[in-house]
Amino acid sequence: MLQGLLALLTDKNSDVCYRAAQALGNLGNVSKPLLQSLLALLKDEDSWVRSRAAQVLGNLGNTSEPVLQGLLALLKDEDSRVRFRATQALVNLGNASNPCCKVC
């Protein structure tokens, strides 16, 4: 099921992609394969995929350094939608992201 949902994040239909992101964010299970897949999607060539991966990471609540660094890198993305989703994700993660953000 998890791999199926991750695959849907790259669907060209924006509604399918959005629903997959919602479902993944609601899982609450931050397994290593899920985290690695989402971190890889932050570097996808498709800005829509990057923005949805950021959204999911923000909803999962994992504040590990790789997650925070991946989201911080997206703050410089050329696509405003990606920057917005990365900002939202960092806000969702709360105070744990503050020390990391002060470095910026």
Residue 52 has pLDDT above 60, yes or no: yes
Q: Does residue 56 or residue 76 have the better pLDDT?
A: 76
Question: DSSP secondary-structure letter at 1?
Answer: -
Angle at 41 between CA 71 and CA 97, to 5 degrees: 15
Q: How much is the mean pLDDT over the chain?
A: 83
CA distance 73 to 104: 10
Q: How far is CA 52 from CA 38, 55, 102, 104, in A?
A: 9, 5, 24, 23
Task: State the pTM of this model.
Answer: 0.76
Task: Name residues whose C-beta falls within 8 Å of residue 23's C-beta, 6 or more positions apart in sequence.
Answer: 5
Superfamily classification of domain 2-102? Leucine-rich Repeat Variant (1.25.10.10)
Domain spans, the chain? 2-102
Band of residue 75 on the pLDDT scale cut at 50, 70, 90: very high
Question: Using one digit for the tens of pLDDT, what is the confidence trace for 8-51?
Answer: 877 888 778 778 877 877 776 677 877 888 898 899 888 988 99
Residue 98 is predicted with a pLDDT of 53
